Structure 1
Amino acid sequence: MQHLYHATALDPAIPVPSWWRDTKTDVPAYPTLEGEIDTEIAIIGGGYTGLSAAYHLARDHDIQAVVLERAYPGWGGSGRNGGFCCMGSSKMPWNKMAAKFGLEEARSFWRSQRESVGLVAEIIDREGIDVDKTGHGEVSLAHKPNLVDALREEADYMARTFGATEKFMSKEDLVAQGLNSPGLYAGVANPVGFGLNPWKYVTGLAAATARAGARIFGNAEVIHWSREGGKHVLTTQRGRVRADKVLIATAGYTPEDLHNDYGGRVLPALSSIVVTRPITEAEQKAQGWTNTTPVYDIRYLLHYFRLLPDGRMMFGGRGGLSAEPGKLRAQQDRIEADFRAYYPEWRHVEVTHRWSGLLCLAQDLVPHVGSWDDQPGVYFAMCYHGNGVAMGTWSGRAAARAMVGGVDERPNFIRRPPPRFPLAFLRPLYLRGAYVAYGIRDSLS
């Protein structure tokens, strides 16, 4: 199968050295598909989106879907992200979205994002999933003094246009709230959101999905997709699934040649994370950072970071261009250097874990949850732009409803397939050029 990144990024045999994996090791193994089975709905991908779709199909519609995961549930981005359950999922500014798609469509999308956070909380509570929930909301941060006014204006715009209850925070407010760094000058607090352990959430969601009646298969990479007698036939290493409908829910880990109409429609991008040893209470007070609320800066190549329940600091960022092991390590080293620049009092604090993963970008900068008009029975849910904990869960439910003709809350503009990138084979060069431009903008802004 074809992919834009080095083969090691797609190899399930290579361990994922994340801190999250160390916090929960008693994870059940799921069987490998053997032989041939028939099902109404097959789902490719065992992350938040695919599991949420299967969970809601079983729980709400009494349909026992089949989930095919190339490794094990949560192996991809769902098990290795920063654990930000928050609004996001689009890289298009809100004012541009309103201008392009109309104000009501933009408001519908804003409501869906707010609802997505509540949906995750609802599932966690209903299924009794312990996710190490922390913080209340999230905070966006200005990393330069000349960005403070823009941050304040954005909060005012969101309040006027969407009824958002975001609160501007001055430098003094940040210090008072335990969010002190010499490299941060103001913030906007959004009350919607929280932090969680993404591995505990995705493995808990998988268990809940299996209990609801869905069939989950691990080590079941789809290596061929064909049509036979009106059915979709998905072939894995050891078996075949015949389905009436198929949902693609593999995001940045989707092979280019999975389906004949899929190639060139998404751009996988790397994100890397480092996690420190537990930082003592005295060390936290020395830096003035004691708040566990998830935060991110507003760079084009943003950083996202938060204190974990045991005092460790998780710090992540975008910008890598190669998944080759040596180059991944260099990217992770850069993220560690950025962490130490933000927290001079923690320069002595050791980093104990570092890892990377792939997120999924669309050419038009918005998520996509829908189906192809000329490909009967083929559905997709993807492109969360690095913010898939909540939106992936919501999109899985939305896809499930679309497949059975249920309540449809999707904004119209996310129902269409992701548009193809022009000269799609040049996507790695597009990303490189974008990162160079973003780096220049971040240094000049």
Structure 2
Amino acid sequence: MPLPPDTGSLNVGSFWEESVGSIQEDPKLFGEAAFDFAIVGAGFTGLSAAIALTGAGASVCILEAGRVGWGASGRNGGFCCLGGSKLSDRQMVRRYGLDQARAYFDYQCEAIEAVSNRLESYQIEADRHSHGEIYLAHRPSDFAGFAEEARFLDDSYGIKARVLSPGDLRTEGIAGPEFHGGLHVPVGFALNPMKYVQGLARKARARGVRIYARSPATGIEPALDGAWSLKTPEGTVRAGKVILAGNAYAREDTPAWLKGRLFPVMSSILVTRPLTDAELSDQGWTSDLMASDTRTLLHYFRLLPDRRFLFGTRGGLFETQSSLSRMHAAARDDFDRMFPAWRGVETSHAWYGHVCLTRDLVPYVGPVPRMDGVFAAMAWHGSGIAMASLSGEKLAELALGRIGQDSLPQAITAPPRKFPLPALRGAYLQGAYWWYALQDR
């Protein structure tokens, strides 16, 4: 992802930007400044960490390449849900054992509850809706496994999931020609992510956090007194400790430790104009549940409170205009096929962003090796609203010395390994997309 332009608009064309109206522009950093903590990235992770740190009396600044919500925190689909890893529940059990798999699941639930509590206590109106999420089988064989999955969730985590037949789906207003049944997991909710992240920024500013927009961290070097020096194009910050919260929008050379450890992949979203009662009835979709299908290259979608329909896809390799146009056209083709009654409904907004993966397909929350006083939280694998929010708080507690990493689930405590031949990540992503598309048929 290139850095945002130094002049002109930072808008990415999302519906979320339009929904919040004007977005406060924080000042750029000029000259020298000193703080107890410097945070790189003004998204869910960085703002959550900043709020927690100021609650402990620390002085905090945030260096942001764009503006609040310019990265994934303002571009995502608004699913505050389970996730953070690309491992299935059973894969998590095989790798870490049942107790640690439960610890990770509990962490996800704690993260969702943390966002819910913030919306209430910070008085953020973020268009919350949806009781949980429904997974829709795009093949009959996928539906056949839902009953066992429901038993596993109940036996392992105490979650009472519902299995819905195709007839049940139609009754509940979740109709489509490619849906062969569903699994409703009653955990999580949907929201407007831009309203949420801007609400966090208002809280941070009120706590005294200095947010510097259009001020990318271009270098992090040790200072003579044991502190850290962070350079921006027109300024420098000296800080006792540093938190890296850029996720898929981080520069790989800031610090050099990041190089080759993260894998940003593209996700695109379209939003329709508001749908009429007749159009909703014709398609048979009236539910406000968050939904996704069972493809590896999944689709995710939901009906918004104003009756627009949001539809997201994975895929896309290059950020040229022609490649982006093809990606958005492919997403629209998928939408028309999956929701044929809306084939003629106009797309009012279309945009894209980056999802952050690691080699081990799990997030990381902890110290940066061999950089004393530098900490990182990253790699939410496409489900970052809840996980980033809680992990930002946990990272602040780690940096303050209030907790140790042993208080976190084992799955998120191992520093991400480098990808093999990282310069070729784009090439083998293309191969993976071809293979996943074949498997998804």
| TM-score of the pair, normalised by structure 1 | 0.95
1:299-314 correspondence runs (5 A)? 299-314=295-310
Q: Distance in 1 between matches of 2:394 and 2:214?
A: 26
Q: Which residue of 1 aligns with 2:174?
A: 179
The reply on whether 1:324 has 2:320 as its aligned counterpart is yes
Q: Distance in 2 between matches of 1:153 and 1:337?
A: 33
Counterpart of 1:142 in structure 2: which amino acid? A
Q: Which residue of 2 aligns with 1:231?
A: 227
Q: Distance in 1 between matches of 2:332 and 2:73?
A: 22
SS for the counterpart of 2:256 is coil
Q: Distance in 2 between matches of 1:416 and 1:43?
A: 21
Q: Distance in 1 between matches of 2:147 and 2:40?
A: 42
Q: Distance in 2 between matches of 1:314 and 1:373?
A: 40
Q: Which residue of 1 aligns with 2:424?
A: 426
Counterpart of 1:388 in structure 2: which amino acid? G
Q: Which residue of 1 aligns with 2:355?
A: 359
SS for the counterpart of 2:145 is helix
Contact 2:11–2:17, Cα closer than 8 Å, also in 1: no
Contact 2:291–2:300, Cα closer than 8 Å, also in 1: yes
Q: Distance in 2 between matches of 1:44 and 1:50?
A: 7
Contact 1:137–1:191, Cα closer than 8 Å, also in 2: yes
Could you tell which deviates more after superposition, 408-417 or 21-30? 408-417
Counterpart of 2:335 in structure 1: which amino acid? F
Q: Distance in 2 between matches of 1:82 and 1:66?
A: 28
Q: Which residue of 2 aligns with 1:49?
A: 45
**Cα offset for 1:293?**
1.0
1:157 to 116, 132, 152: 152
Q: Distance in 2 between matches of 1:318 and 1:272?
A: 6
1:15-30 correspondence runs (5 A)? 15-30=11-26
Counterpart of 2:238 in structure 1: which amino acid? R
1:240 to 232, 236, 239: 236
Contact 1:371–1:415, Cα closer than 8 Å, also in 2: no
Q: Distance in 2 between matches of 1:190 and 1:407?
A: 31
1:204 to 199, 208, 231: 199
**Cα offset for 1:213?**
2.1
SS for the counterpart of 1:331 is helix
| TM-score of the pair, normalised by structure 2 | 0.96
SS for the counterpart of 1:200 is helix
Query: How many residues are treated as equivalent by the alignment?
Result: 436
Contact 1:372–1:416, Cα closer than 8 Å, also in 2: no
Q: Which residue of 1 aligns with 2:436?
A: 438
Q: Which residue of 1 aligns with 2:290?
A: 294
SS for the counterpart of 1:261 is helix
Q: Distance in 1 between matches of 2:370 and 2:25?
A: 37
2:88 to 93, 102, 110: 93
Counterpart of 2:413 in structure 1: which amino acid? R
Contact 1:49–1:392, Cα closer than 8 Å, also in 2: yes
1:52-91 correspondence runs (5 A)? 52-59=48-55, 61-91=56-86
1:71-150 correspondence runs (5 A)? 71-150=66-145
RMSD of equivalent CA atoms? 1.3
Q: Distance in 1 between matches of 2:86 and 2:335?
A: 23
Counterpart of 1:399 in structure 2: which amino acid? L
The reply on whether 1:388 has 2:393 as its aligned counterpart is no
**Cα offset for 1:27?**
2.2
Counterpart of 1:264 in structure 2: which amino acid? G
Q: Which residue of 1 aligns with 2:372?
A: 376
Gaps of 5+ in 1: none
Counterpart of 1:54 in structure 2: which amino acid? A
**Cα offset for 1:26?**
2.8
- The CA deviation string for residues 97-155 of structure 1, in whole angstroms up to 9 with x for no partner, is 11111211111100010111111111111111111112111111101112111222222
**Cα offset for 1:407?**
4.0
- The CA deviation string for residues 410-440 of structure 1, in whole angstroms up to 9 with x for no partner, is 2123122111111111111121111111001
Contact 2:4–2:66, Cα closer than 8 Å, also in 1: no
Q: Distance in 1 between matches of 2:270 and 2:352?
A: 9
Kindly, what percent of the aligned residue pairs are identical?
40
**Cα offset for 1:372?**
2.6
Contact 2:104–2:411, Cα closer than 8 Å, also in 1: no
SS for the counterpart of 1:131 is coil
- The CA deviation string for residues 165-208 of structure 1, in whole angstroms up to 9 with x for no partner, is 22111112111111011110111111111111111111111111
Counterpart of 1:270 in structure 2: which amino acid? M
**Cα offset for 1:255?**
1.3
Counterpart of 1:35 in structure 2: which amino acid? G
Q: Distance in 2 between matches of 1:357 and 1:365?
A: 19
